[in-house]
Amino acid sequence: MINTKNYKDYFSNNIIPYLKITLDYSVYTSRKFDFVVGAYLSYDFALKYNDKSKGNNLVNNPIENISSVDIGLQIGTKIIPMN
């Protein structure tokens, strides 16, 4: 288990780059509200793990990389301001 207090001992940096594609569609319902329906696809790039057994060199071993792919649906409301 990774001790989060010593995060930099395990990973080369603390920024996780990601790529996210989102599609949204607004459904008109009334003068005050709209419903929003959407979908997204997201990918978090792998963090490079510090291998302490090799003198803290960065390794790019697929087993030791942490990355993820997310697919999801989202629903919401849009409140239209009154003029």
pLDDT digits (tens, 9 = 90+) for 20-72: 999 999 988 888 889 999 999 999 988 777 666 555 455 555 455 678 899 99
Q: How far is CA 64 from CA 12, 32, 59, in A?
A: 13, 50, 8
Is 10:2 a contact under the CB 8 Å cutoff? yes
Look at residue 81 in the predicted model and tell me its pLDDT: 85
Is 34:26 a contact under the CB 8 Å cutoff? yes
